[in-house]
Structure 1
Amino acid sequence: MTTFLQFHLLTSYGPSNPNRDDQGRPKQAMVGGAPRLRMSSQSLKRALRESAFFALDLQGNIGTRTKRLYALLVEHLREKGVPEGDIPKAAETAAAIFGKLETSKKDEGARLATTLAFISPQERKLAEELAEKVAAGEDLPKEKDLKKMVLRRADGAVDIAMFGRMLADDADFNRDAAVQVAHAITTHASQVEEDWYSAVDDLNKAEDTGAGHLGETGYGSGIYYQYVCIDCDLLIENLDGDRELAVRAVEALARALAQTTPRGKQNSFAHHPRAHLVLAEAGRQAPRDLSGAFFAPVKEQPLMASSVKALDETRAAIDQAYGRVWDSDCRMEVGVGGTLDEIVRFAGETVRAA
C-alpha cells in the first residue's frame, strides 16, 4: 500500500505581494463567498525549487526547466573544440529530442524549443554526449531509439521526481508528480489594497515642486493555509529506487515549506515569514486536505489562534466521520511546542519506512 506524507501549514504574511496576477496585483480567489488572497501552486513550487535548502542539500540532483538546451549544447561543443561548422547540426539533433525547435525572432535568431522542457542533470549529460557523437560523424539509431539514449523515466532529479513533467512530443517519458501542492489561501476574508507612491528627483531645484515619478502597486496581508501531499512510494520510484535520496528530498522540502516564500515584490515589502504551525501526518489511507476549515472565513481575533482552532476542529471532525487517515503525526506550533527539526526528522523517517 502507498504511504502518504501530508503537510498542513499556517503562515502569516504582512503587507506584501509575493505572487502577482496579470495586472501586477496579488492573486485572489473567492472561497465560501468571501474574497481571499491566494498564492498559486506554481509560484510555491518554483520558490521551493529555488530555495537554499534545495540548492545546498540536493546539489547535483536538481533539474533545469528551459527552452534553451540548444544554446547550452552549442556552448558545450565549442568548449570541446568541435569545428564551428559541425556544431549546429549536432546541437539541434540532441536538443530536438526534448521538443521541436524554432528560430527566435526576439533573441537574435537563437534556436529555442517551442515548449519548456524539464531536463535532469543525467539527461543533460547524455544529450551532451549524443551531440559529441553527431559532431564526430558516428552512425546513430532511428529517432525512437535515439530518444532512449537520452530520455529517462526515472533518475536522480529530485524536483522532477517531486513535481513531475510533461514532454509534449513524447508522453512515454512524462513523469507523474509525487508531490501535490495546493494553492495557498488566506483563512479569513482579505482584499487587495492599493499603494500610491512617488519618487523624488534628487536634483530638483527648490522651486520645482512635485514628484519625479508617480505609481501604484497592489498588496495584501493575511494568514495563509498551505496543504502539500507526498506519495512516498512514487517519489522513490521516480528517483529510480534511491530511497536515501528520497529521504534527503523530503527533509529539504520540509525545511523549505516552513521557511520559503515566492519572491514577488520582496525588495519592496521584505516579506520573510516563517510558518506558525506545521502539522505533518503519515499514513496509508487516502489523503485529505483541511481547506474546509476555512470555507467559513475566520473572523474572531486573534486570527492566528482562531485559524489553528478551526484547523484542529475540522481535522477531528473528519477523523470521527471517516476514521483516522494518519497513523502517526508530528506538530510544531510557535509558542506552543515542537521544533522544525522534529518535523524534518519525522518526514525523513516516513519515507525511509515506506
Structure 2
Amino acid sequence: MSTFLQFHLLTSYGPSNPNRDDQGRPKQAMVGGSPRLRMSSQSIKRALRESAFFELDLKDNMGTRTKRLYDELVQRLVGHGAPENAAREAAEQVAAIFGKLEAPKKEEKARVATTLAFISPEEWRLAEDLAGKIIAGEDLPKEKDLKKLVLRRADGAVDIAMFGRMLADDADFNRDAAVQVAHAITTHPAQAEEDWYSAVDDLNKAEETGAGHLGETAFGSGVYYQYVCVNADLLIENLAGERELAAKAAEALARAIAQTTPRGKQNSFAHHPRAHYVLAEKGPQAPRDLSGAFFEPVRKPPFLDNSVAALTKARADIDAAYGQAWEADCILHVGVGGTLDEVVRFAGDVVRGA
C-alpha cells in the first residue's frame, strides 16, 4: 500500500505573464466552458527545480538535463591531462550510452545529443570514470553491460526521483515520476489582455515628439488552483531507499510550491506571489485532485475566499460520496491560521513515516 502526500494550493497573481504560449501570450485553457488562464506543468516543475529550496538545500543531489554531455566530458578529461583526441574518442563512447549524438558539423568539434538526457550526479561521476578507463585501454564489457557501469535505476538525484526521466535508447533505465504536477488554472473566468507601450529617445526629446519605440506585451491575472501529488514510497525507492533524503526533498517541495513561480516576463511584471491557501493531505487511498471545484467557475468577489469555500465544499462532498481520502491534513490559510513551517514539517513527516 502506497502513502500519498497531496497538495492543493490557491495563489493570486496580479497582472503578469509567467508562462507564455508560442505567440507570447499567457497560456490558456477552456474549463467547464469558461476561458481560464493556465500555467503548464512543465513550467512549474522547471521553476521548482531552479528554486533556492532545491538548488541550495539539495545542491549535491540535483540532476542535470542536457544534450552536451560529450563536450563536458571532453573538457573534464582534457583538464585532467588526457590527450584531446583520446578524450574525444572516449567521450563519444560514453555519451552514446545516454543517447545518440548528432553528426559532427563541418570543421566543428562540438557535438550534441539528439535528445535531452537527465543525468544524476552519480552517473556524471561514473561516466567520467568510464571515459578514463577507455583512455587507459582497460578491457571493458560489451555495449549492453557497458551501460550498467554508468546508468542507474535509483540514486540520490532528487529531481529525477521526483519528476522522472525517459531514456529513449534504453527504457530499462527510465525513472517513473514520484511527483505529479498538474497544470495550474484560474478558479474563475480569465482572459489575456494586451498592453501597448512606448519608449522615449532620451537624446531626441526636442526635435521629435512621440515615441522612439512602440511595442506590445500580453498579460493576465487571477487566482490559480494548483494540485501536486507525491507517491512517498516511490520517492524513497527512486532515491535508493534514502528515506531521510526523500523527506528533505518533500520539505523542499512544500516550501517551493508555496513560494515559487515560473519566471516569464518577471522583470516586466514583478510577480512574486505566495500561496494564500495550502492544503496538504496524507493518506493511502488512490489520489484525487479537486479541480472539479472550479468547473463551475467562481464568479463573485472576493475571489480568494470564494475559491477556498468552493475547494472546501468539493473536498467534503467527495469524501461523503467515496469515503475520506486522507488520514491527516495540514492547512495554511493566510489571515485565518496555519504556517508554512507546519506544512513543511507535515510533508517531511509523511515521507519519513511511509
Give the TM-score of the pair, scaled to structure 2: 0.98
Q: Deviations over 1:253-300 (max 9, x none)?
A: 000000000000000000000000000000001110000000011011
Task: Percent identity, please.
Answer: 78
Q: Separation in 2 of the partners of 1:137 and 1:206?
A: 74
Alignment-mate amino acid for residue 192 of structure 2: V
Paired residues for 1:238-249 under 5 Å? 238-249=238-249
Determine the structure 2 residue equivalent to 1:261.
261
Gaps of 5+ in 2: none
Q: CA deviation at 1:85?
A: 2.0
Determine the structure 2 residue equivalent to 1:222.
222
Q: Deviations over 1:130-174 (max 9, x none)?
A: 111111222211000000000000000000000000000000000
Determine the structure 2 residue equivalent to 1:23.
23
- Change in 2 beyond 3 A, CA 1:131/1:187: same
How large is the RMSD of aligned CA atoms in angstroms? 1.2
Alignment-mate amino acid for residue 61 of structure 2: N
Q: Separation in 1 of the partners of 2:72 and 2:192?
A: 41
- Change in 2 beyond 3 A, CA 1:109/1:193: farther
Counterpart check, 1:7 vs 2:21: no
Paired residues for 1:17-96 under 5 Å? 17-96=17-96
Please tell me whether the aligned partners of residues 197 and 216 of structure 2 are also in contact (alpha carbons under 8 angstroms).
yes
Q: Deviations over 1:284-324 (max 9, x none)?
A: 01110000000011011100010000000000000000000
User: Number of paired residues?
Assistant: 354
Give the TM-score of the pair, scaled to structure 1: 0.98
Determine the structure 1 residue equivalent to 2:154.
154
Alignment-mate amino acid for residue 140 of structure 1: L
Paired residues for 1:281-300 under 5 Å? 281-300=281-300
Q: Separation in 1 of the partners of 2:203 and 2:133?
A: 61
Determine the structure 2 residue equivalent to 1:182.
182
- Change in 2 beyond 3 A, CA 1:105/1:336: farther
Alignment-mate amino acid for residue 321 of structure 1: A
Please tell me whether the aligned partners of residues 103 and 109 of structure 1 are also in contact (alpha carbons under 8 angstroms).
no
Q: CA deviation at 1:110?
A: 2.0
Alignment-mate amino acid for residue 251 of structure 2: E
Determine the structure 2 residue equivalent to 1:166.
166
Please tell me whether the aligned partners of residues 47 and 260 of structure 1 are also in contact (alpha carbons under 8 angstroms).
yes
Alignment-mate amino acid for residue 159 of structure 1: D
129-138 or 153-162: bigger deviation: 129-138
Please tell me whether the aligned partners of residues 330 and 346 of structure 2 are also in contact (alpha carbons under 8 angstroms).
yes
> Which SS does the other structure have where 1:101 is aligned?
coil
Q: Separation in 2 of the partners of 1:84 and 1:347?
A: 48
Counterpart check, 1:275 vs 2:275: yes
Q: Separation in 2 of the partners of 1:325 and 1:247?
A: 22
Determine the structure 1 residue equivalent to 2:115.
115
Q: Separation in 2 of the partners of 1:196 and 1:9?
A: 32
